[in-house]
Structure 1
Amino acid sequence: MADTTLDAIDQRILGALERDGRLSMRQLAEQVHISRANAYARVERLTESGVITGFSAVVDPVARGLKTSAYVTMHVNQPDWRDIHAELRTLEGVEHIALVGGEFDVVLLVRARDNADLRRLVLDQIQGIHGVISTRTLLLFEESSPTRHGAQLPGSSA
């Protein structure tokens, strides 16, 4: 990523796109109070510099049929981390992977159709990876995302 200094307009652009990545350049320019040409140029610069890494849809996991979610903490053999990471990335249901410092080595967010599917994912696939020493599974009962400006994730209740 190139060294990019973000000014107040860049921050407003990023905030608007985080709230709605489907904004047209006209809508974005209107929201941020800049010209369309300036919006195009800034979004292009933010993308080329690696600040914006992509655009995606936020999908309700429950509506998608993934009714069971959990955080899985892992202890791993440190020298095997790169291979473990590569294998975790191939597993269907692993939504997020984080190498962390502290009590655990790795934290995963996993989603499954049901408890049986979660059991298969954790006990058969994840624990079957060479270099995984142990796991602990924490079931999610409810979730929300502060990065969505206080908005709840679809399918969650408050």
Structure 2
Amino acid sequence: MADRSGAPGTVPPARPLDSTDRAILRILQTDGRASIRAVAERVHVSRANAYARINRLVEDGVIRGFGARVDHERAGQGASAYITLKIVQNSWRTVREQLQALPGATHIALVSGDFDVLLLVHTPDNQALRELVLTKIQAMPEVLSTRTLLVFEETDLGPRPDLPPELV
């Protein structure tokens, strides 16, 4: 990606968000399918202004995409787990690419503390989870160790309309 000056390989600095931008983000987090017209009406700007702001938020990488919040159990993914990984130093990018290719991987984070990576996966059942951990993740040469934490129940918090705008 190039910055606004056109220099290759640099990420442009983030432009500051105003209260209208934050209001648009809250609306789209609640309903990613909201029309430009509905967004414009709710934030009291013209459709052209709402369209331009949403495009800028996408262009700036503030909005990374639009998607659906899925009930994984109802979608046939009845087993969920957080998997912690200790990895070889300086192998994050390689490990991240391999983890992104795994079926059922929904969240990957490089973290600090007792382990290096936190991975959230959803699989059809415990057998598929076991196979994923033992034959795919632990087979990666950069992975030194794993720990699997089964999820018994989860709640998708989604957007937080109860929080003040400055905390969203």
TM beyond 0.5: yes
Task: Compute the displacement of 1:100 (Å).
Answer: 0.5
**Paired position in structure 2 for 1:154:** none
**Paired position in structure 1 for 2:84:** 73
- Aligned partner (choices 61, 66, 70) of residue 59 of structure 1: 70
The letter of the residue matching 2:151 is L
Given the alignment of the two structures, is residue 88 of structure 1 paired with residue 93 of structure 2, yes or no? no
Given the alignment of the two structures, is residue 7 of structure 1 paired with residue 13 of structure 2, yes or no? no
The letter of the residue matching 1:52 is I
Task: Compute the displacement of 1:12 (Å).
Answer: 0.2
Given the alignment of the two structures, is residue 25 of structure 1 paired with residue 36 of structure 2, yes or no? yes
In the superposition, the TM-score normalised over structure 1's length comes to: 0.89
- Aligned partner (choices 125, 137, 140) of residue 114 of structure 1: 125
Counterpart secondary structure, 2:85:
strand
In the superposition, the TM-score normalised over structure 2's length comes to: 0.84
d(CA) in 1 for partners of 2:108 and 2:78? 20
Percent identity among equivalent residues? 50
Counterpart secondary structure, 2:63:
coil
Given the alignment of the two structures, is residue 126 of structure 1 paired with residue 137 of structure 2, yes or no? yes
d(CA) in 1 for partners of 2:159 and 2:23? 14
Counterpart secondary structure, 2:38:
helix
Segment of structure 1 superposing worse, 46-55 or 117-126 = 46-55
**Paired position in structure 1 for 2:155:** 144
d(CA) in 1 for partners of 2:161 and 2:51? 28
d(CA) in 2 for partners of 1:80 and 1:60? 32
Counterpart secondary structure, 2:84:
strand
Task: Show structure 1 runs of 4+ deviating over 3 A.
Answer: none
d(CA) in 1 for partners of 2:90 and 2:56? 37
**Paired position in structure 1 for 2:49:** 38
The letter of the residue matching 1:88 is L
Please report the RMSD computed on the Cα atoms of aligned residues, expressed in angstroms.
1.6
Deviation track 1:104-140 (CA, whole Å, cap 9, x = no partner) reads 1100001110010000001111001111111111111
d(CA) in 2 for partners of 1:84 and 1:97? 10
